[in-house]
């Protein structure tokens, strides 16, 4: 049994990422669609972990960690990389590189950095934030233009950086058009305002759009990517950016108590995932589309399948959200609530096409009733 979490007063179901807490009392097989973080390492991945050469990473001597950092930096077109325990830590280290205490970060209002990192950016690094809203979690260039005050003098907060999330989690796994991001890069131009990309699911964006992750990443000053989401590694993210920024992030990682020693066993899982689990995300996307289409057939107002671009499906079920989550759970289908009336379904490595079909039937029946 997982530990019960403190109710947060937001009407969010307990459990990781707003999901119902998992238990062992389900009908035959549980299909866990609460998050793509719930995957277990595969046999091939465990073998790669067991075979990994290791050393002390605080001394920068773990060959498996270095290989993963260098490879990720190269894939994303940046100078250097830093392996971190979580995406939240990678984001905090990236943002703090650009935003001094008391300065501000701009982002979309549903961004993970302001909604799901528990105030870490301010609690650790004194970062303040202002947000714009966008239906699909995207960049509202006009709003950014209005909000951005790079050098606001002694009366107003000065903007130091802007964070973008691709794909956007709470907007339903939406992919940002490359042109929109290029326009943002153009907009910040010579202002000195820096761009951070929260690319927890950048691999999903690559697979869905056909645009290489590096094409997105090169428009940003720092980029974080998760290995523990669609890629299916048990732990880890990588922050990439300029060599001096990454060197300083390495200092801050240790300062925050997150230096690790023979982390190569974990890095090896990430490297294995980059080799074997990127292209297969097509299956996750197809499964998500199948679930959306099946639910939309039964209850057209609940989801628009055309909005499902990657592995996340948001079901807008209004008042029935808690009932739906509980009833689905009783039938062995785990989902979560991520906003008022919004049930989130995420497909991943441990959900096969049969599971997706069964979950789709259950959710469609419950959404219809
Ligand atoms: C999951 C996620 C992260 C990082 O989460 P951790 O649990 O800290 O690894 C960051 N950004 C987005 C958009 C995410 O979905």
Predicted confidence (pLDDT) per residue in 173-201, tens digit: 999 999 999 999 999 999 999 999 999 99
Count Cβ atoms within 10 A of the Cβ of residue 244 and give its class: 0-12 exposed, 13-18 middle, 19 or more buried.
Answer: exposed
| Ligand 1 center–CA 299 separation, angstroms | 30
Ligand 1 nearest-atom number relative to CA 165: 13
- What domains lie within the chain, and their CATH numbers? 13-32+280-368 (3.90.1150.10), 45-276 (3.40.640.10)
Rounded Cα–Cα distance for residues 12 and 279 (Å):
33
Kindly list the strands in the beta sheet with 80-84, ordered across the sheet, starting from the edge strand earlier in the chain: 80-84, 237-241, 222-226, 194-199, 159-165, 104-108, 128-132
Rounded Cα–Cα distance for residues 96 and 252 (Å):
9
Q: Is 110 in the pocket of ligand 1 (CB under 6 A)?
A: no
Rounded Cα–Cα distance for residues 94 and 96 (Å):
6
How much of the chain, in percent, has pLDDT values that exceed 70? Answer: 92
Q: Is 36 in the pocket of ligand 1 (CB under 6 A)?
A: no
Question: Tokens standing for 220?
Answer: 């940003």
- Predicted pLDDT at 161: 98
Q: What is the DSSP string of 230-276?
A: TT--SS-EEEEE-HHHHHHHHHHHHHTT---SSTHHHHHHHHHHHHH
pLDDT tens sequence across 65-94:
999 999 999 999 999 999 999 999 999 999
Does position 221 have pLDDT exceeding 80, yes or no? Answer: yes
Q: H or E element: which one contains 315?
A: strand 312-316
- Predicted pLDDT at 27: 58
Q: Is 184 in the pocket of ligand 1 (CB under 6 A)?
A: no
pLDDT tens sequence across 294-346:
999 999 999 999 999 999 999 999 999 999 999 999 999 999 999 999 999 99
Does position 99 have pLDDT exceeding 90, yes or no? Answer: yes
- Predicted pLDDT at 10: 34
Q: Find residue 334's DSSP bridge partners.
A: 32
Does position 155 have pLDDT exceeding 60, yes or no? Answer: yes
Question: Could you tell me which residues come within 8 angstroms of residue 29 by beta carbon, excluding any fewer than 6 positions away?
Answer: 332, 355
Q: How far out from the chain centre does Cα 109 lie? A: 15
Does position 241 have pLDDT exceeding 50, yes or no? Answer: yes
Does position 19 have pLDDT exceeding 50, yes or no? Answer: no
The closest of 349, 265, 279 to 68, measured between CA atoms, is 265
How much of the chain, in percent, has pLDDT values that exceed 90? Answer: 92
- Which segment of 20-34, 206-220, 253-267 scores lowest on mean pLDDT? 20-34
Please tell me whether residue 220 adopts helix, strand or coil conformation: coil
pLDDT tens sequence across 141-152:
999 999 999 999
Average pLDDT, the chain: 93
Q: Is 64 in the pocket of ligand 1 (CB under 6 A)?
A: no
Does position 154 have pLDDT exceeding 90, yes or no? Answer: yes
**Average pLDDT value for residue range 20-35:** 71
Give the pLDDT band of residue 255 (cuts 50, 70, 90): very high
Q: Please choose from 17, 83, 84, 86 the residue to mutate so as to test ligand 1's pocket, defined by most ligand atoms within 8 A of CB.
A: 86
- Predicted pLDDT at 29: 83
Rounded Cα–Cα distance for residues 332 and 39 (Å):
16
- Predicted pLDDT at 369: 80
**Average pLDDT value for residue range 205-221:** 98
Q: Please choose from 38, 87, 170, 175 the residue to mutate so as to test ligand 1's pocket, defined by most ligand atoms within 8 A of CB.
A: 87
- Helix, strand, coil percentages for the chain (3-state, nearest 5): 45, 15, 40
Q: Please choose from 83, 169, 202 the residue to mutate so as to test ligand 1's pocket, defined by most ligand atoms within 8 A of CB.
A: 169
Q: What is the DSSP string of 103-160?
A: -EEEEETT-HHHHTSTTHHHHHH--EEEEE--TTS---HHHHHHH--TT-TTTSPPEE
Rounded Cα–Cα distance for residues 248 and 250 (Å):
5
Cβ proximity of 70 and 127 under 8 Å: no
Question: Tokens standing for 130?
Answer: 């202002």
**Average pLDDT value for residue range 249-256:** 98
Rounded Cα–Cα distance for residues 114 and 363 (Å):
30
Cβ proximity of 256 and 239 under 8 Å: no
Question: Tokens standing for 11?
Answer: 């009407």
Does position 12 have pLDDT exceeding 70, yes or no? Answer: no
Find the Cα–Cα–Cα–Cα dihedral 85, 38, 135, 117, rounded to 10°: -30
Q: H or E element: which one contains 165?
A: strand 159-165
| Ligand 1 center–CA 193 separation, angstroms | 23
The closest of 145, 150, 155, 103 to 127, measured between CA atoms, is 103
Q: Is 112 in the pocket of ligand 1 (CB under 6 A)?
A: yes
């Amino acid at each position: 049994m997982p530990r019960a979490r403190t109710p947060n007063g937001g009407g969010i179901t307990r459990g990781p990422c707003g999901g119902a807490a998992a238990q062992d009392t389900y009908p035959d097989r549980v299909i866990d669609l609460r998050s793509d973080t719930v995957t277990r390492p595969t046999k091939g991945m465990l073998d790669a972990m067991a075979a990994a050469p290791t050393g002390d990473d605080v001394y920068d001597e773990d060959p498996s960690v270095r290989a993963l950092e260098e490879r990720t930096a190269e894939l994303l077109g940046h100078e250097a990389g830093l392996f971190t325990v979580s995406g939240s830590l990678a984001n905090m280290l990236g943002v703090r590189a650009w935003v001094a205490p008391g300065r501000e970060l701009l982002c979309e209002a549903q961004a993970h950095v302001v909604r799901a990192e528990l105030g870490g950016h301010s609690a650790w690094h004194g970062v303040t934030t202002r947000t714009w809203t966008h239906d699909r979690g995207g960049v509202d260039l006009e709003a950014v233009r209005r909000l951005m005050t790079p050098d606001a003098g002694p009366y107003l907060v000065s903007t130091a950086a802007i964070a973008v999330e691709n794909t956007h989690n709470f907007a339903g796994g939406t992919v940002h058009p490359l042109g929109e991001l290029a326009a943002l890069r153009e907009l910040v131009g010579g202002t000195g305002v820096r761009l951070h990309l929260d690319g927890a699911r950048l691999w999903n964006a690559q697979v869905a759009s056909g645009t290489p992750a590096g094409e997105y990443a090169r428009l940003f000053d720092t980029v974080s990517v998760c290995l523990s989401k669609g890629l299916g590694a048990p732990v880890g993210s990588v922050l990439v950016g300029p060599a001096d920024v990454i060197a300083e992030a390495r200092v801050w990682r240790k300062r925050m108590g997150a230096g690790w020693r023979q982390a190569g066993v974990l890095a090896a899982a990430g490297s294995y995932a980059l080799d074997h689990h990127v292209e297969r995300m097509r299956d996750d996307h197809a499964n998500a589309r199948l679930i959306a289409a099946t639910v939309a057939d039964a209850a057209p107002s609940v989801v628009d399948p055309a909005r499902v671009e990657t592995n996340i499906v948001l079901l807008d079920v209004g008042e029935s959200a808690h009932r739906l989550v509980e009833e689905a759970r009783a039938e062995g289908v785990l989902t979560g609530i991520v906003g008022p009336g919004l049930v989130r379904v995420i497909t991943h490595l441990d959900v096969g096409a049969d599971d997706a079909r069964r979950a789709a039937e259950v959710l469609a029946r419950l959404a219809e009733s």
